[in-house]
Structures are given as C-alpha cells and as structure tokens.
Amino acid sequence: MAAKPGERRLQILQALAEMLETPKGEKITTAALAARLDCSEAALYRHFASKAQMFEGLIDFIEQSLFGVINQVTSEESRGLRQVELILSLLLHFSQKNRGMTRVLIGDALVGENERLQVRINALLDKVEAALKQSLRIAATQENLKPDADFGALANLLRCYVTGRWEQYGRSGFTREPLAEWPRQWPMLYFACLSQAGAPVSA
C-alpha cells in the first residue's frame, strides 16, 4: 500500500536526518536521498519543491520539538533559575539524541544551501535566547537576581554555552557528547547567574 502524502513527507525528512548523522559530514544530494529511499528524484519533488524546503521541514521539526518542551517548562515551573536549568538541559539532550539535527543547528549541514535556512536557524536561536532572558527576569522578580542585572548578556552567555557544546559534538564526529560535562558545568553556570544576585539563594 502506498504511503499517504503526509507519511511520505515524514519518511523523506527522517531519511534526510539519518543521512546527516554521518560523522564525515558529506554534502547530501537529492540523488543520494532518492537512492536511500529507493525512489526517483522526481518522486521527492512531488512532496517538496526543493531540497531547501526539505531542510525547512527539519527546522520546523526542531522548532516545534524544542519550544513544545520550553513552553511546558515555563508554564509548569515557577522558579526562574530552575527554568534556565531545564531549558539548557533540554537543548543538550535534544542535540545528543539527534545528531543530524545538530548539524542543522550548527549550520554545518546548511553550507552551500539556500541562505534563508541559516536565517531560520539564527531566528530559532534568538527565540531560545529570549526564553532564557525571560526566565532570568522571572528569577529577578523572585529576588534571586538583581532587578538591574544584565539579563541580555547573561542569556547570551548561556546561549553561547549551548551552541558551543553542539559545535564540539558535531566537529568531533559525535564523540564529545553535549551532556558529558553537564553535571559539573551547570553549577558553574548557576554561580555565573548568582554573580548577578542581590542575595544568596538555594539551588
């Protein structure tokens, strides 16, 4: 039985993500993708107008996956600094479980592709940074951080930590796992947050 259009689109995106998991990071061609799916390139283009649209499908999946959980965290956890911890942990877990998606997030898989794809990733990361900044502001309202703390600089620092871990994972051929140092590094990041604190707080 032939797959339904939505199912076939999902199969194509899954195959693309799997092909991106190769440590060598070869450029993915539609011919290679079609061969993996045992179909013609024309069959791919019945579901996606271009390879760029396939990558956009992956970016949509990443965004929905990440912000579905981030929104859950911010709605269920009232403590600002705990929100920060959970968001950072989520971002590292997602990368470690999704090697191909990591290559999209760090832009490695987008080299030579349509420039609008990198614009999409940049916008996604800006949203992550904004979520972290909002959690830091909440921490300030709870008197964990000073009201005049530099939330923007701190949120950017946390973003750079995550993207740096992603980058190391991808560039190491997926041997330097994002979560490897997390239990030791979160306390360091926590105290970096507390350097902006107006009073001592408990973890």
pLDDT tens across the length of the chain (203 residues): 455 657 889 999 999 999 999 877 678 889 999 999 999 989 999 999 999 999 999 999 999 999 999 999 999 999 999 999 999 999 999 999 999 999 999 999 998 889 999 999 999 999 999 999 999 999 998 877 888 888 999 999 999 999 999 999 999 999 999 999 999 999 999 988 877 654 444 44
Q: Is residue 1 part of a domain?
A: no
Q: Is residue 66 part of a domain?
A: yes
Q: Is residue 178 part of a domain?
A: yes
Q: Is residue 82 part of a domain?
A: yes
CA distance 50 to 42: 11
What domain range is 188 assigned to? 50-194
What pLDDT is recorded for position 25? 66
Residue pointed to by tokens 């107006």 = 198
Number of structural domains in the chain: 1
What pLDDT is recorded for position 198? 47
What pLDDT is recorded for position 73? 97
Q: Is residue 4 part of a domain?
A: no
* Sign for the pseudo-dihedral over CA of 19, 14, 106, 82: negative
For residues 138 and 111, is the Cβ–Cβ distance under 8 A? no
Alpha-carbon dihedral 9, 13, 18, 20, rounded to 10 degrees = 150
Contacts 24+ apart (CB under 8 A), 115-118: 116/52, 117/52, 117/55, 117/56, 117/59
Q: Is residue 199 part of a domain?
A: no
Q: What is the CATH number of the domain that holds 71?
A: 1.10.357.10
For residues 36 and 98, is the Cβ–Cβ distance under 8 A? no
What pLDDT is recorded for position 192? 83
Residue pointed to by tokens 């923007």 = 152
Q: Is residue 2 part of a domain?
A: no
| Inter-CA distances, 64 with 61, 70, 72, Å | 5, 10, 12
Q: Is residue 140 part of a domain?
A: yes
- In the chain, where does DSSP find H-type helix? 5-19, 30-37, 41-45, 51-76, 80-97, 99-105, 115-141, 151-171, 182-194
